[in-house]
Structure 1
């Protein structure tokens, strides 16, 4: 296929570009050129947020376009409109955050693609992603909306799995947020990339929850595997959610990937993914994701990259020691 990746040098876009090249596809990436490109791609430079910044895309045709943009929707619409009639398929990497979450609900159902969405004027990330979905409709052709959840794997620039790997490699008594069997639902960026390209080739359209099945792994398995892969230096001290919250530790940010049991955990880690799996989604074992991410981290001279538009994650060692009574 002739593939155009809007992005293509960071995390998910990079996984798409790498897979396309590995499969023998003709891959073009469009970005600002701030990171080293994937070997074998054609690079078109431009800043899509600047006036006239899409100029490099005014010519050319492609079989499919993949857009990973996660901020204001205007640039998604501008690119989709510009590429209208010049590409056969358009995929927008959205988020399961577009679903409405009622923090006061007594129970959270397992949400499928027909679940209620946030309001169109919702502020922040969820609203940006929903508006991005709607802006992508300007493409006027076959459109796939990949509603991903937690994304892990090599080249992660959010810092979640990289932080855990670094912490476990450092070793010693380590705060492990319980319960041990807390189920996690996520997707490896490479499995997301495979779904996107396979779906494009098949002409698949519509919204899909693109994450693993609920309970694909658990917090216990994730940290035990990560500890083994990084050398077995850590002494995992499983700690009750009540103790963690009482210490003022912020879930998800200070303890990446973790949310205490409750409605928000159910919302983010218990989504209905039957439609995506019926359309071909497959998710590799957690051991492979962890091992490959650690190998990538060890190859970096300056540590893991960090997106400027996302908060730095991780727990201060002093806070950790205080909670563990050290």
Structure 2
């Protein structure tokens, strides 16, 4: 097949391009050429998808069997891409997010039948938050692409080349050793998925002309928070001691959920469904998920050769990890619980 990947140089987009190449497909990538190096073997076209002339240059004289759009965030921008690429491909896959569903993370058992955020397909970036805009991007594809469409709604994605900084931060912190503040209940089940598994499923669906919508959030309970961090201790060989502090204590100490401790959400009614979405439809259609321990191992194998000061823990807009001084202060407060003044 001839596949166009919108993005294709970082994390999930890179994994999709790599998977497509490994299956013998002809892969074109379209990105600005700024976020990451182009994979060997792709036909790289550099340009800005927000510039109509760049999209026209991409499409001129070219046709593809499928487009896989990993980089769309603003509905109006995705809509413009969809309109300019219609007639140049027969199938369009959009990589969205579980955040497109307003019932996540509150309601349990979320699946493809749940409603999405309200957002028009031509909305600008200021219309709403990330999840709202992703829902608008989905509509831009579904309602305006002249061909078959497929929507992939991933949950929490980990794996080698992660540029979001969640697992890389935990691995880096644990590799330093010592006493590591660990959040919440170590026995709480969580749900994680490797970018490479989403990539394999997405390319397979694109190759067979799959349509509709799939949640790809992994297998419920495929790890606990405790087993996940224990895997980090094992692969780094640091001998770090995990010191588990309960949710209420950490909230009282002003710890920011999800960011200061990546992937941690306090167990409250507002997060009851955080780790319960169903990927049953995708599994029935061929999604397979490797063990979380393998993801941790492979991510450390990639990360450990990168100097610590060059590792990415997110971006200026959203960075991950707790300040060492704050962690030490909270550890001391946890140790001092119940002691006389």
Tell me the residue number matched to 2:268: 262
Q: Distance in 2 between matches of 1:188 and 1:243?
A: 31
Q: Distance in 1 between matches of 2:238 and 2:331?
A: 19
Tell me the residue number matched to 2:96: 94
Q: Tell me the SS of whatever aligns to 1:52.
A: helix
Alignment TM-score, normalising by the size of structure 2: 0.90
Q: Distance in 2 between matches of 1:178 and 1:306?
A: 21
Name which one, 1 or 2, has greater alpha-carbon Rg.
2
Give the unaligned 5+ runs of structure 1: none
Q: 1:280-320: CA deviations, max 9, x gaps?
A: 11111011101111111123356334554741110111111
Q: 1:141-162: CA deviations, max 9, x gaps?
A: 1111101111110111110000
* Higher alpha-carbon deviation: 74-83 or 234-243: 74-83
Tell me the residue number matched to 1:32: 32
Q: Is the 8 A contact 1:49 1:75 kept in 2?
A: yes
- C-alpha displacement of 1:125: 0.1
Q: Is the 8 A contact 1:120 1:131 kept in 2?
A: yes
- C-alpha displacement of 1:70: 4.3
* Higher alpha-carbon deviation: 117-126 or 153-162: 117-126
- C-alpha displacement of 1:58: 2.7
Q: Distance in 2 between matches of 1:205 and 1:25?
A: 20
Alignment of 1:175-324 (within 5 A): 175-301=181-307, 303-305=310-312, 308=315, 310-324=317-331
Which one of 81, 84, 100 corresponds to residue 82 of structure 1? 84
Which one of 136, 142, 155 corresponds to residue 149 of structure 1? 155
Q: Distance in 1 between matches of 2:72 and 2:242?
A: 35
- C-alpha displacement of 1:233: 2.8
Matched, 1:67 2:72: no
Q: Distance in 2 between matches of 1:307 and 1:88?
A: 35
Alignment TM-score, normalising by the size of structure 1: 0.94
Q: Distance in 2 between matches of 1:309 and 1:139?
A: 34
Number of residue pairs matched by the alignment:
323
Tell me the residue number matched to 1:130: 135
Q: Is the 8 A contact 1:170 1:233 kept in 2?
A: no
Tell me the residue number matched to 2:108: 109
- C-alpha displacement of 1:231: 1.2
Q: Tell me the SS of whatever aligns to 2:215.
A: strand
* Higher alpha-carbon deviation: 191-200 or 63-72: 63-72
Q: Tell me the SS of whatever aligns to 2:310.
A: coil
Give the unaligned 5+ runs of structure 2: 121-126, 336-341
- C-alpha displacement of 1:71: 2.2
Q: Is the 8 A contact 1:158 1:310 kept in 2?
A: no
* Cα distance change, pair 102–136 in 1 and its aligned pair in 2 (3 A): closer
- C-alpha displacement of 1:201: 1.6
Q: Is the 8 A contact 2:7 2:30 kept in 1?
A: yes
Q: Distance in 1 between matches of 2:101 and 2:6?
A: 25
- C-alpha displacement of 1:260: 1.2
Tell me the residue number matched to 2:119: 120
Which one of 49, 55, 58 corresponds to residue 56 of structure 1? 58
Q: Tell me the SS of whatever aligns to 1:200.
A: helix
- RMSD of aligned Cα (Å): 1.8
